[in-house]
Structure 1
């Protein structure tokens, strides 16, 4: 199964539980991995036979810039559901969201949430 990956898209958002996160915001990084049967669907160099990563990027950017949540889990779930609905030709998707500047004591690179889902295709 082929995969289309958008790695390390970065946005400044105001998601979080803490007042500081809602006031000054923080950078998040997002990866989207789309399972799509490229091997059997893309034979003629035609964009309409695949999923445009430019469109996926725009969908991610619009979602994270329009909505703010307390939980990064809610961002991940909402984005996953949006993308699965918008791209029913995809077999499955995984969304990873990393918060880089988490305001907690400790030494770490980031905190990451990962969610996955599949599209239900009619077998009639």
Structure 2
């Protein structure tokens, strides 16, 4: 089994429970790690036989564009799409982080980690 990791996907989105968060928006960071059998692609050197990180990035961007109150919700949607659309993926972990959340203090990031395995 091999893995593909995409770190630090930067997205501007409008997630949060506060009305202001839906109007002002915030910066987010998404890290995605997926695992699957990459032995065929190692032999064929063909994109169709591997986990396409461009497709992964597209899923992240599209799901982050849909407003959610909770980061758990958007993380779950990302995981569901990855597992549904990329059949070679057997396990996936996503971290969705809100940069500078509106909770006061010296908080740089709040992260929700969701993991699923088939």
Alignment TM-score, normalising by the size of structure 2: 0.93
Per-residue Cα deviation, 1:66-100 (whole angstroms, up to 9, x for no partner): x1111111111111111111112111000100000
How far residue 116 of structure 1 moved from its aligned partner, in angstroms, is: 0.7
Aligned to 1:89: 88
TM-score (norm 1): 0.89
Structure 1 Cα separation of the partners of residues 27 and 75 of structure 2: 15
Counterpart residue number, 2:106: 107
Flag the structure with higher strand content.
2
How far is the alpha carbon of 1:41 from its aligned partner?
A: 2.3
Distance of 1:45 and 1:113 partners within structure 2: 35
How many equivalent residue pairs?
117
Counterpart-to-counterpart distance in 2, 1:118 and 1:86: 15
Quote the residue 1:70 is aligned against: 69
RMSD over aligned Cα, in angstroms?
1.1
Give the SS at the match of 1:15: coil
Consecutive unaligned residues in structure 1, runs of 5 or more: 120-124
List alignment gaps of at least 5 residues for structure 2. none
